[in-house]
Amino acid sequence: MFPHMDSNIHSKICYNVVYGQVIRYYNICNQKENFIKRVNHLVNIVMTKNYNKRQIIKYILKAIKKLNLFNNKKYDLSLNDITDMIKPVY
């Protein structure tokens, strides 16, 4: 489902898949815990496909900023929530 970094696909497209998935998960998840769990699973998957750790974080934070999830009625994410999402990176 997710392109491998060693494929012929440009790396920017691969990271935009991460960005798009975070936005998609926001739209389909009703609970913050499910959203965090799905994003965490996404990070696990792309890490196995040789994605760069910094780039993963960059594109996840880009999606979070676009969705304004820190001041959002649906989730109101905290910094700890963000840390839980990207745990596999560390």
Query: In the chain, what are the domain boundaries?
Result: 11-89
- Please report the pLDDT score of residue 21 as a whole number: 96
Could you tell me which residue, 76 or 23, shows the higher pLDDT? 23
DSSP of 6-36: TSSS-HHHHHHHHHHHHHHHHHH-SSHHHHH
Are 50 and 4 within 8 A, CB to CB? Answer: yes
Global confidence as pTM? 0.85
Q: For residue 43, what are the contacts with CB-CB under 8 A and spacing of at least 6?
A: 56, 60, 85, 86, 87, 88, 89
Tell me the per-residue pLDDT of 33-70, one tens digit each, with 9 for 90 and over: 999 999 999 999 999 999 999 999 999 999 988 888 77
